[in-house]
Amino acid sequence: MMIALAVSSCDRMPVYKNPPLNRAGDIAINIRTLREGTPEFYSFAMGGKKIDFFLVRTGGDVQSYFDACAMCYPRKLGYRVEDGKIVCRACNVSYTIDELKTGIGSCHPIALPGRSENGSYIITRAAIKGGSKYF
């Protein structure tokens, strides 16, 4: 029974925190809270769906991605961080943080448009809605 419990718990998706919102209702994450090279995962509820995404700060720039790829998204497993890499939970393809910018690969995370503004990284509701089909 202990083995079954341990195996089933490995299959569960993690629960991510809700992102902070600005007055307009868009996601607004304080850039200073992002650690260099360490992805930060969030969940945003919209239209009855939980839309997961992550941000990563590299070389002072912030990038954002849906926790899904165009190839494996039907399995709804997303990515995990392992040994400094982003790894697809469905097929185990991995990318270094630096490789994320290129957007090349069979299981690359889907880019989530965002912008830096006054010390915050802003992701609009429209941008989130644009990727909702993957969740």
Residue 13's pLDDT is what?
74
Over the range 82-107, which residues count as b (16 or more CB within 10 Å of their CB) and which as e?
eeebbbbebeebbbebeebeeeeeeb
Which SS3 state, helix, strand or coil, does residue 82 take? strand
The per-residue pLDDT for range 72-125, each reduced to its tens digit, is: 999 999 999 999 999 999 999 999 998 998 888 889 999 999 999 999 999 999
Report the domain count for the chain: 1
**CATH, residue 46:** 2.102.10.10
In a domain, 65, yes or no: yes
**Where in the sequence is the domain holding 53, given as residue range(s)?**
14-134
In a domain, 73, yes or no: yes
In a domain, 9, yes or no: no
In a domain, 6, yes or no: no
In a domain, 72, yes or no: yes
In a domain, 108, yes or no: yes
How confident is the model over 15-34, as a mean pLDDT? Answer: 96
Closest Cα to residue 115, out of 43, 52, 37, 22? 22
| pLDDT band at 60; cut points 50, 70, 90 | confident
For 26-69, give the DSSP string.
Answer: -EEEEGGGSPBT--EEEEEEETTEEEEEEEEEETTEEEEEEEEE
How confident is the model over 40-67, as a mean pLDDT? Answer: 95
Contact 61, 36 (CB under 8 A): no
CA 129 – CA 48 distance, rounded (Å): 12
